[in-house]
Amino acid sequence: MTAEITVLSAGAVEPGLSKVVDAFRRETGNEVRVTFATAPAIRKRLSSGETADLVIAPADLFDELEKTSTALDRNAVGRIGVGVMVRDGAPMPKIATVNEFTQSLLGAESIVYNQASTGLYLESLFDRLGISAQLKAKTTRHPDFAAVRDHVSKGTGNEIGLGAITVIIESASKGLRFVGPLPAEIQNYTTYAATVTADDPARPAAMLLLQYLTSAKAKTIFTSVGIE
């Protein structure tokens, strides 16, 4: 018997997850309905009692939830680093070293990033680099990557955007250019995991999807879009 599986997932894995889910639908006949949201939004939804058959989120979010609930069995989906972007046609900033990256940020007219996991890391990174005060007046933060993408792609000045590598690469046809990942010394990876929260009758199908997410085929798809 086929089933409909509801999934609540972090948006950073969307480029890979959408392709994996399509393959899963074709091979199993099960229907999958995915809702994408930022990590803070997922935390709020789950904390308020919202349910989904399967949840994909940063691993540390599950750590938080387990402090007030039972332990969650989870499978690692992969990790995603932080990348730099500019609008299509704009000069490519130098970011190969920490010093080049820092100087490019200081020389930019505008810095744009989100308020989710990536944004939280960047906030602490700029503190460590000692440039938070210089960047504050020219920084814009949006709730999600879609707003960051639109801001950068429609800009006219020397703007630098930052976000998860997966969604930057996916936006190559939407007015963005992927400059590259952060320098290795300051790179930050967010690890994403999946857990089944469904009760019967959806649980067997959700478990099947969870297993599929760690299959060789799924891993190949995830790797192709920047999920390591």
Q: Which pLDDT tens digit goes with each residue over 79-103?
A: 999 999 999 999 999 999 999 999 9
Lowest mean pLDDT, pick from 83-87, 137-141, 201-205: 201-205
Same domain flag for 205 and 174: no
- Report strand pairing: 159-164 vs 82-87: antiparallel
First-to-last alpha carbon distance for the chain, in angstroms, is 33
Same domain flag for 128 and 147: yes
Beta partners for 36? Answer: 9
Read off the pLDDT of each residue in 105-115 and give the average, rounded to a whole number: 96
Read off the pLDDT of each residue in 40-50 and give the average, rounded to a whole number: 87
Q: What is the pLDDT of residue 68?
A: 62
Same domain flag for 111 and 144: yes
Same domain flag for 86 and 119: yes
Same domain flag for 92 and 154: yes
Place of tokens 């930022």: 38
Predicted confidence (pLDDT) at residue 70 exceeds the cutoff of 60:
no
Same domain flag for 44 and 58: yes
Predicted confidence (pLDDT) at residue 212 exceeds the cutoff of 60:
yes
Task: List the CATH number of the domain containing 168.
Answer: 3.40.190.10
Same domain flag for 103 and 34: no
Read off the pLDDT of each residue in 7-32 and give the average, rounded to a whole number: 95
Residues 6+ apart with CB under 8 A from 206: 5, 53, 54, 196, 198
Same domain flag for 100 and 12: no
Give the pLDDT band of residue 74 (cuts 50, 70, 90). Answer: confident
Same domain flag for 167 and 111: yes
Across the chain, mean pLDDT equals 92
Number of domains making up the chain: 2
Same domain flag for 62 and 104: no
Give the pLDDT band of residue 159 (cuts 50, 70, 90). Answer: very high
Same domain flag for 133 and 39: no
| Helices and strands, number each (H, E), in the chain | 10, 10
50/219: higher pLDDT: 219
Name the helix (H) or strand (E) containing 190.
strand 190-196
The model carries a pTM of: 0.83
Distances (CA, A) of 49 to 58, 75, 109, 218: 19, 22, 42, 30
Question: Strands, DSSP E only, in 68-189?
Answer: 74-80, 82-87, 110-114, 139-142, 159-164, 176-181
Q: What is the pLDDT of residue 39?
A: 87
Percent of the chain whose pLDDT exceeds 90: 76
Structural domain boundaries, residue 8: 4-79+191-224
Predicted confidence (pLDDT) at residue 50 exceeds the cutoff of 90:
no
Same domain flag for 145 and 168: yes
